[in-house]
Amino acid sequence: MDDHKPAAPAPKRTYETPPAERPITEAEAARAAKLSANEHIKIASGYLRGTLADGLLKHATGAISDDDGQLVKFHGMYLQDDRDLRAERTKKKLEKAFSFMIRLRIAGGVVTPKQWLILDDIARTYANGTLRATTRQTFQYHGVIKSNLKRTMAAIDGALLDTIAACGDVNRNVMSATNPAQTGAHKAAYDLAKGISDGLLPKTNAWREIWLDGERVVGGEDEAVLEPVYGKTYLPRKFKTVVAVPPINEVDIFAHDLGFIAILDKKNKVKGWNVTVGGGMGMTHGETDTFPRTADVMLYCEPADALKVAEAVMTVQRDWGNRKVRKNARLKYTIERYGLKAFREEVERRVGKPLQDPKPFRFEHNGDRYGWVEGEDGRHHLTLYVASGRIKDHEDGPRILSGLRRIAEVHQGDFRLTGNQNVIIANVPADRKAEIDALVEEYGLATGAGALRRNSLACVALPTCGLALAESERYLPSLVGELEESLAAHGLQDDEITIRMTGCPNGCARPFIAEIGLVGRGPERYNLYLGAAFDGSRLGKLYADDVSAGEIRATLDPLFGAYARGRNPGERFGDFLIRAGHVARTVNGPDFHDRTGALIPAA
């Protein structure tokens, strides 16, 4: 297979005509239009209130109603249960072991040492004793029971943080580039992320009323006043925004609905932003009308226009997104349905002027830079590897929770979470590095991790995620150990290869843009995707369907051998697999499901 052979011209696409009206907000009209069930829940919710306040008082159950289970996502939480205990509790005729996952909204993943200490205390007081850094640059708590929800929310509020819009059909936590070497550019990226997060935050007072016993705003039922941007029904589905600074793509910009890529001048100052739209990871097994998609680079805007562009992109999706079929409601399907040209024209109309075409840029990889890095301002920043983002004390291993707590007690800078689930001890003066290093050594925080492990991601999956079909966080470490043995046998132990695993095809750990992607299919069974780009710009392709956990190493080992023997200088694993003809290149979107499987046998 000659991967450099010019591709045949794509057939001309026919796009639908976009809607001209705002979304339906009246119950009767929504029923007549056969909108999805969630649209009816939002319309009837009174701007995300539902019956949550009353449901919290029902102590006979650890759960809440199904409708409130949808609404509570907008407040930053999911109802879950411990699936390891389901069978035993069912046998004893007990209710499931219900608890809540709570996700914070932390734009850019930046917290102060004081905030870190409060969050650590919450984890040990109300949750399961761990903090989990997510793939979206924020924290999650697991295991918070219903009777502790309000106490937990009050403690979070006491840290000057919240969970508003961390989940639900809204603009969720905004991610920002974290590599601190380019100090000025990364400050601009953080400022934009914070501005978008604040500007696109829901305005309803429901969060404070329900969780902090705040007073209801009198006369606040007027939609134009209460939710001038979102309206009564918010967005058709979740909406994820990120800000990247080349050459590092650690936020995985092509995997998200909306992105801003910094265009730098010769002095590393941001002179403008390329805007990406239409990325997204989730799909459903066996349904080819669902697929992951990498974002299109749509246009370039000046810094002064960036916030207007962000709101315009989101409101076009608000008005054009599919509210009848929820599985096809993300922005990626809107772009496929109406076309990028029409979408850009509408964004420019709402911004109020034409915008420029994208500028050239280049990404090198989507991983983190570990160890100490000195910024342009002379401050120092230490990136620590945290396996699957799980901040806890390991028996006979690193005491991550205790160690970072101790560092927070003396640290004078800030902490930054990365999109790869790691932690940066940031803005350390040169004369305080030795103190930080001593604590890192004392608590074992710099425990070495091989090249494959450093480039691994896993979602939580079992036992708490209700969508998980297979293990992920609990299984990936041992699988990586097996694959490290294979790589070493072929002399590849120092090669950087991205590997990501999720328990289901929702793709929270972004497996479809990993060079090795594993997606749960059933208990101890996974779909194996190969051929993605090392910089996160290209999707992988289904190589093997329904592979058992015990077969993964045997499936990959001959491909590692072929890579070791036949790669070109500097060639990445995913690129090699395509060039050598083992797997087809994925162009984008619907093409994800075409030409699947192993194209030639692995020797």
Number of other CB atoms surrounding residue 350 within 10 Å: 15
Measured distance CA(583)–CA(600) in Å, rounded: 8
Beta bridge partners of 522: 525
Check whether 459 is labelled as a binding-site residue: yes
- What's the token pair of residue 392? 């806890």
Check whether 167 is labelled as a binding-site residue: no
DSSP characters over 218-275 = TTTT-HHHH-TTT-TT--SS-B-EEEEBTTB-TT-GGGSSEEEEEEE-TTS-EEEEEE
- Catalytically annotated residues: 103, 172, 238, 240, 459, 465, 504, 508
- Side chain identity at 411, as an amino acid letter? H
3-state helix/strand/coil string of 205-231: CHHHHHHCCCCCCCCCCCHHHHCCCCC
- Side chain identity at 270, as an amino acid letter? V
What CA–CA distances, in Å, run from 314 to 104, 319, 417?
21, 9, 25
User: Are the C-beta atoms of 567 and 266 separated by less than 8 Å?
Assistant: no
The residues, ordered by sequence, that sit 6+ positions from 596 with a Cβ below 8 Å of its Cβ are 541, 542, 543, 545, 584
Nearest Cα neighbor of 294 from 247, 347, 332 is 332
> 330: left (phi > 0), else alpha (psi -120 to 50), else beta?
beta
Measured distance CA(348)–CA(359) in Å, rounded: 17
Number of other CB atoms surrounding residue 242 within 10 Å: 31
| Binding site residue list | 459, 465, 504, 508
| Binding site residue list for [4Fe-4S] cluster | 459, 465, 504, 508
| Binding site residue list for siroheme | 508
